[in-house]
């Protein structure tokens, strides 16, 4: 299976200059290709990758764009391929319409096998890119296969990273015969059906004061000045630290869950819809429910675990995990509640996690699609059947 490993690299000043040119040429070709397709569509024509690649060859011969020959041609071709993939994702409604790339922000360039040399001699690894040379890379982890593609990236903070795409087979983890339901939240990022609660680190709040001060200083700097550019890097480094700490925490959390449990049941949360709540949007974005789900699913696939996703309309919080009774309303501020039918006292999050686990078992027992639970099964006229199944599986 395809696996990506990312490593920090430290290019020389001469390499930084060449990389800056490569990033600029790749960005220019991507924007040029996007503009070419938009104009062709207005004229009733269609342009695919083959036609745009042929037009790029002619573009390099013109005096206005002859400087594109100064860098490797492979990142330029890959920019057009990425544009083609962006169009495919747009027409299949997997993404929005492609947008023009900007000079300020994340910059990247991709090299295929013909554009780099990877050597492994006596345990030492080296990577050499076309027209850039050998890079100083901090190899922080080991791998056995050779990369198929190499992507070098420059972050807004000025850090350089190399991403290697590898074909590797991961060893399957030993079975633990354990299942768990996971309820995601804000005060506690994850609550497990066994009663465990994982606190939310709240990464944005940790850097809020420092980031606010740096952004106020940036707003007073004159646009285009050197002082503004240096302050912009300071702001970017603070934001990058927040993103890195969040990613590190989610990686450790998802790895821990995959190691401990064979079956993990989660809710199919609508993260894009939830961030529209003006009062909770920042907290929900900081918790990164979508990133948690993506990491968990990818690691489960890698190590042979099973993820069962329960429908987002399943009333996990309002359903009693003991008797299956569903209360009419349960506001967010109520964290402890007592079932009016059986009198059992519940912690809101732990009760929801138990119901998510039970619902995941019910879907499998019925032989249905594990990623969806029919909404009709959750309506009032079908509550008794669903509740009985949940109680039986619990």
* Prediction pTM value: 0.81
User: Cβ(214)–Cβ(231) under 8 Å?
Assistant: yes
Say yes or no to pLDDT of 12 above 90.
yes
Mean pLDDT for the chain overall: 87
At 373 the pLDDT is 37
Q: How confident is the model at residue 142 (pLDDT cuts 50, 70, 90)?
A: confident
Best mean pLDDT range from 33-37, 282-286, 341-345: 33-37
Q: Check 183, 244, 262, 322 and give the catalytic one.
A: 183
Which pLDDT score, from 0 to 100, does residue 393 have? 36
**Exactly one of 64, 267, 297, 306 is catalytic; which is it?**
267
For residue 222, what is the DSSP state?
P
- Across the range 62-83, mean pLDDT stands at 94
Q: Count how many residues are written for the chain.
A: 394
Q: Tens digit of pLDDT for each residue in 254-266?
A: 999 999 999 999 9
pLDDT tens for residues 228-244? 999 999 999 999 999 99
Low-confidence winner among 129-133, 367-371, 381-385 (lowest mean pLDDT): 381-385
Does 349 participate in catalysis according to the annotation?
yes
Of 161 and 341, more confident: 161
Question: How many CB atoms neighbour CB 145 within 10 A?
Answer: 11
The pLDDT tens digits for 301-356 are 888 899 999 988 888 888 898 888 898 888 888 888 888 888 888 988 999 999 99
pLDDT digits (tens, 9 = 90+) for 180-195: 999 998 889 999 999 9
Q: What 3-state class would DSSP assign to 11?
A: coil
Sign of CA dihedral 311, 312, 318, 322: positive
Which is the catalytic residue, given 84, 110, 286, 349?
A: 349
Structure confidence at residue 2 as a pLDDT band (50, 70, 90):
confident
Beta-bridge partner residues of 192: 182
Query: Which pLDDT band holds residue 378 (cuts at 50, 70, 90)?
Result: very low
Query: In angstroms, what is the C-alpha Rg of the chain?
Result: 26
**pLDDT confidence bin for 144, thresholds 50/70/90:** confident
Q: Mean of the pLDDT values across residues 69-87? A: 95
Strand-pairing partners, residue 139, are: none
Q: How far apart are CA 232 and CA 6, in angstroms?
A: 25
Q: How far apart, in whole angstroms, are the C-alpha atoms of residue 255 and residue 240?
A: 22
Q: Which strands, in side-by-side order, build the sheet including 124-129?
A: 116-121, 124-129, 133-134
């Amino acid at each position: 299976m395809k696996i990506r490993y990312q490593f920090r690299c430290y290019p020389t000043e001469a390499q930084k200059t060449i990389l800056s040119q490569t990033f600029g040429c790749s960005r220019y070709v991507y924007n040029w290709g996007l503009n070419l397709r938009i104009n062709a569509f207005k004229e009733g024509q269609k342009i695919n990758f083959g036609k745009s690649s042929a037009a790029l060859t002619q573009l390099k011969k013109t005096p206005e764009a002859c400087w594109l020959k100064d860098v490797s041609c492979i990142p330029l071709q890959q920019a057009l391929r990425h544009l083609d993939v962006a169009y495919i994702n747009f027409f299949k409604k997997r993404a929005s319409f492609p947008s023009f790339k900007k000079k300020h922000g994340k910059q990247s360039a991709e090299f295929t096998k013909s554009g780099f040399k990877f050597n492994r001699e006596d345990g030492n690894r080296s990577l050499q890119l076309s027209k850039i040379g050998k890079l100083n890379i901090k190899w922080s982890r080991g791998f056995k296969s050779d990369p198929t593609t190499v992507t070098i990236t420059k972050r807004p903070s000025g850090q350089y990273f190399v991403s290697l795409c590898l074909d590797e087979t991961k060893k399957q983890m030993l079975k633990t015969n354990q299942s768990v339901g996971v309820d995601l939240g804000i005060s506690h990022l994850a609550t497990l059906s066994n009663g465990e609660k994982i606190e939310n680190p709240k990464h944005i709040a940790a850097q809020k004061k420092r980031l606010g001060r740096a952004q106020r200083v940036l707003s007073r700097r004159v646009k285009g000045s050197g002082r503004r550019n240096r302050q912009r890097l300071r702001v970017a480094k603070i934001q990058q630290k927040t993103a890195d700490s969040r990613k590190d925490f989610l990686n450790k959390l998802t790895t821990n869950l995959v190691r401990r449990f064979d079956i993990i049941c989660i809710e199919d949360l609508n993260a894009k819809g939830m961030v529209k709540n003006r009062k909770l949007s920042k907290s929900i974005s900081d918790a990164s429910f979508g990133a948690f789900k993506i990491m968990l699913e990818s690691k489960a696939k890698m190590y042979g675990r099973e993820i069962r996703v329960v429908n987002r309309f399943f009333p996990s919080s309002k359903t009693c995990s003991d008797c299956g009774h569903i209360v009419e309303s349960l506001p967010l501020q109520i964290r402890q509640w007592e079932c009016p039918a059986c009198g059992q006292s519940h912690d809101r999050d732990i009760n929801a996690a138990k119901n998510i686990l039970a619902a995941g078992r019910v879907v499998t027992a019925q032989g249905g699609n594990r990623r969806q639970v029919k909404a009709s099964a959750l309506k009032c006229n079908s509550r008794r059947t669903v509740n009985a199944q949940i109680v039986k599986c619990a």
